[in-house]
Amino acid sequence: GCILDGKLYPFGEISRTDNCFRCTCRQEAMTCCSLFHTPVGYDKDKCKVIFNEKSCNYDVVQKNDPSKECFVYSRV
């Protein structure tokens, strides 16, 4: 298997790791890509970014009321 962040994963496709990556574990190497996209276009004065481990994505919420989401123009 392959070790990522101290955890052993089996050979083959891993649809989601504990830290929100999709990986392929081979005897030669382990390759991974993130399951999340970082928000870059939003109102930075009124909003803040919080990582949601459950959904493996970033939530953009109002600074003064985190229960309300902000509109995101773009992600990378």
The per-residue pLDDT for range 16-61, each reduced to its tens digit, is: 998 899 999 999 999 999 999 999 999 999 999 999 999 999 999 9
- CATH architecture of the domain 39-75 equals Single Sheet (2.20)
pTM: 0.72
Q: What residue ranges of the chain are covered by domains with CATH 2.20.25.590?
A: 39-75
Calpha distance 14→8 (Å, rounded): 11
User: What's the pLDDT at 61?
Assistant: 97
**Alpha-carbon Rg of the chain, whole angstroms?**
16
Which residue type, as a one-letter code, is found at position 45?
D
Which residue type, as a one-letter code, is found at position 52?
N
User: What's the pLDDT at 27?
Assistant: 93
Choose among 62, 49, 54, 60: nearest CA to 35. 54
Contacts of 38 (CB under 8 A, 6+ apart): 49, 58, 75, 76
